Amino acid sequence: MTIKPRKKYLDISFFLPEKTEAFPIFVSLQTSKNRVRHAARLENAADVTKPVIQWIKQSYDLTR
């Protein structure tokens, strides 16, 4: 997982086993048979929703 703090938003990237195009994801790229890299832009605390938290947990489990 990568976290890039910016002046007005926070960009995060993480891996999931399948492609997801839900907000706030703006890029999905198949990197291997079982991994898709996703990039999400979080502009405020309200963007940290339950799905975002679940994706981060799922990514952690996938990459450890």
pLDDT single digits (tens) 12-48: 999 999 999 899 999 999 999 999 999 999 999 999 9
Q: 55: how many CB neighbours lie within 10 A of its CB?
A: 21
Give 10's strand partners.
5, 42
Q: How far apart are CA 41 and CA 12, in angstroms?
A: 6
Q: How far apart are CA 64 and CA 44, in angstroms?
A: 28
Reading the block at residue 1, the tokens are 């997982």
So what's the pLDDT on residue 32? 94
Assess whether pLDDT exceeds 90 at residue 63. no
Domain segments of the chain as ranges: 2-63
